[in-house]
Amino acid sequence: MSEPLGPDRGAAAVEMAFVTMFLLILLLGIVDVGRAIVANISVRDAAQDGASYFSHMRDATAAEVEARVRASVSSPDLSDVATTTVTVSCGLDPRDLQSGSRVRIDLSHDVDMITPIVGDLLGGTITLSPTAEADRFFDTCPPDATALPTP
């Protein structure tokens, strides 16, 4: 004998709808975090590549280093000046009073979030800001490089 239909009819479907929405937002949040982690690795590698290039090239200008940093990775796109800033700094190494200088590449890149609710709560973007430093094997810095702050 079947039970009579009561007020609980369809409750499972409503509960499933609520759980599905929560799980979908959670999944999109995980995708956003994964995209930010992958972008952070690429942006960090681009900064390190620029610092390495700058430390070994005597006649490199800051503009050439910035172009090298922007071109060193294809994803994320670092060529967009609205979402990416590159600062090339050079100065005497305060740790060593002999020949040589220190170079630093500061990179800032915005990653847009795709999760609607979580993105709105966190401002819609995640800003990645890696810094790479290297010892330059030459005692001069190009004139277009920003001076390193003294400690």
Q: Given this model, what pLDDT does residue 75 score?
A: 80
pTM value is 0.78
Q: Given this model, what pLDDT does residue 12 score?
A: 86
Token pair for 19: 């759980």
**Regions in the chain scoring below 70 on pLDDT:** 1-6, 93-100, 149-151
* C-alpha span between 35 and 113 (Å, rounded): 9
Tens-place pLDDT, residues 43-55? 999 999 999 999 8
Task: Encode 106-151 in three state secondary structure.
Answer: EEEEEEECCCHHHHHHCCCEEEECCEEEEEECCCCCCCCCEECCCC
Tens-place pLDDT, residues 126-141? 899 999 998 887 777 8
Q: Given this model, what pLDDT does residue 115 score?
A: 80
**Domain locations in the chain?**
13-147
